[in-house]
Amino acid sequence: MKKVLLVLLAIFVLITPLVAQGAKEGPKYQTLKMYTALDTEEAQYYIEAFEKSTGIKVDYVRMSSGEVAARLEAEKSNPQVSIWYGGSNTDHINAMSKDLLLPYKPNIDFELDPAFHADDYSWNGFYTGAIGFVTNTNFLKQHNLEPPQSWDDLLNPVYRGQIEMAYPYTSGTGYTAWATIVQMKGMDKALDWWQEFDKNMHQYTASGTGCIARAGLGECAVGIAFSHDIVAKGINEGYPLVMSFPKDGTGYEVGGISLVKGAKQVTEAQIFVDWAYSVEAQNLFMKYSRLPVNPKATVAEGAIKLSDITLIDYDALAMGLAKNEYVEKWRDRIGK
């Protein structure tokens, strides 16, 4: 029976510090503690490159960006991490408004577009992507159609039960699409438009990227998602898909990176931010077809540039702050 207790104690006492602390690395740098909102697989790809390149070890936990924001707020008095890597800038802006971030102007050799950073550099944008349509080419051929060129094209009855996208309340992608419509039309007209549009929906998915391969498989005809995901998870996978953008304008996201107020590894976090802007790091985006912000970085084949498409004047700040209200209005009307 003593053994029983010993095993118990050993597990609960010994393993806690072991995993909570992580292995200590060389004397020079501390282990950088991070929350990331990128997909685990993708985050791991970048972080391993960073560790290799700088010798700084990173301890990261993956969460949705809304969850990161909430966590930072809960830990305000005793921050557990120094850096927040990835996730839509709307959520970073939200955190900035709550005074949770530590400004840092990245040490880079190019001009960063003012839309891609906070005025005081509380958050910085390190990639971008626009909302686009992804359409199954077989479906287009069958119905003798062009890929949709405007939001209203999606109201065509030929698409009845054929469109998929994420719920605005479960995914940043879904919310950006909804916020885009709201900004373009105003809330009342946006709700009317969506009610009409909803008739063509096959189903809403939980994740923003789910609809892409489903369109590729013919489970639906059209998906609405971010361009980088469409290319990386659809077209490059070999699915019969084509990407198009609404000519009347579309919304976009900026992927944010921020230092956390009260960070314990400021130096390491700053090194990480600078690295994230380096040509080396930005070239890694090719694998996931994100649009780099460093002009010297190579753009992935098939990925479009923001300058090639019509963007609305997307107010990430207002959309970030009004998220709960906008989502409730959507759910009240659409009932899903």
Partner 1 sequence: MSKYSTTRTQRINDLKKLAKEPFLLISIIVIFYLLILFVIYPIFQVVKMSFFYDGKLSLKNYADVLKQSYYIRPLFNSIILGVLVATIATFIGFVFAYGVTRTPMKAKGLFRLIATFPIVSPPFVVALACILLFGRAGIFSGVLGNIYGLKGLTIVEVVAYAPMAFLTLIGVLQAIDPALEEAAMDCGASRIKVFTTILLPLATPGIVSAWLLVFIQSLADFGNPMILSGDFTVLSVQAYLQITGMFDLARGSTLAILLLIPTVVAFYLQKHILAKKSYVTVTGKPTSATIKNLEWYIKYPVYALCIFFAIVVIAFYGMVVWGSFQTIWGVDSTLTLKNYTTMWRVGKNYILDSLYLSAIVTPITGILSMFIAYLISRKQFFGKNAMEFSSMLTFAVPGTVVGIGYILAFNTPSFLMPVTLTGTSVIIMALLIFRRIPVGIRNGIAALEQIDPSIEEASIDLGADSSMTFRKITLPMITPAFFAGLVNCFVKSMTSISAIIFVVSGRWNFITVAILGFVDNSRYAQAAAMSLLLIAIVLIAMGVIKLITDRLGKGMQTILIE
Strand 252-260 with 222-226, pairing: unpaired
> Binding pattern to partner 1, positions 77-106, x when CB under 8 A?
---x--------------------------
Q: What are phi and psi of 252, to 5 degrees?
A: -150, 165
Separation CA 299–CA 314 (nearest Å): 23
CB nearer to partner 1: give 5 or 157: 5
What is the residue-wise DSSP string for 279-308? HHHHHGGGGGTPEESSTTSPPPTTPPPGGG
Closest by CA position to 84, among listed 106, 103, 111, 65? 65
Which residues ranging from 315 to 334 are in contact with partner 1 (CB under 8 A)? 324, 327, 331-332
Question: Based on CB atoms, which residue is closest to partner 1, 128 or 205?
Answer: 205
Residue 316's H or E segment, with its range, is: helix 316-321
Of the candidates 40, 53, 107, 298, which one interacts with partner 1 according to CB under 8 A? 40
- Give the separation between CA 169 and CA 197, rounded to whole angstroms: 17
74 binds partner 1, rule: CB under 8 A: yes
CA-based torsion, 64, 67, 72, 75: positive or negative: negative
How far, in Å, CA of 180 to CA of 171, rounded? 14
Per CB under 8 A, 24 contacts partner 1:
no
Helix (H/G/I), strand (E/B), else coil: 136: strand
Q: What are phi and psi of 129, to 5 degrees?
A: -165, 145
**79 vs 106, beta carbon nearer partner 1:** 79
Angle at 172 between CA 167 and CA 174, to 5 degrees: 35
d(CA 175, CA 220): 20
Between residues 228 and 233, which has the closer beta carbon with respect to partner 1?
A: 233
Binding segment (CB under 8 A) for partner 1, from list 70-78, 113-121, 252-260, 296-304: 70-78
Question: Taking CB under 8 A as the rule, does residue 75 contact partner 1?
Answer: yes
Residue closer to partner 1 by CB (options 213, 311) is 213
Number of residues that bind partner 1 (CB under 8 A): 62
Among 25, 29, 54, 64, binds partner 1 (CB under 8 A): 64
* Environment class of 144 (CB within 10 Å of its CB; exposed 0-12, middle 13-18, buried 19+): exposed
Binding span for partner 1 by CB under 8 A among 16-24, 102-110, 127-135, 262-270: 16-24
In this structure, how many other beta carbons lie within 10 angstroms of the beta carbon of residue 323?
20
Residue 156 one-letter amino acid? N
Q: Is residue 297 involved in binding partner 1 (CB under 8 A)?
A: no
Using CB under 8 A, which residues numbered 175 to 214 contact partner 1?
202-207, 209-210, 212-214
Q: From residue 211 to residue 250, what is the string marking binding to partner 1 with x (rule CB under 8 A)?
A: -xxx-xxxx-------------x---xxxx----------
**Binding site residues, partner 1, CB under 8 A:** 1-2, 4-5, 7-9, 11-12, 15-16, 19-20, 36, 40-41, 43-44, 59-64, 66-67, 69-71, 74-75, 80, 167, 169-171, 202-207, 209-210, 212-214, 216-219, 233, 237-240, 324, 327, 331-332, 335-336
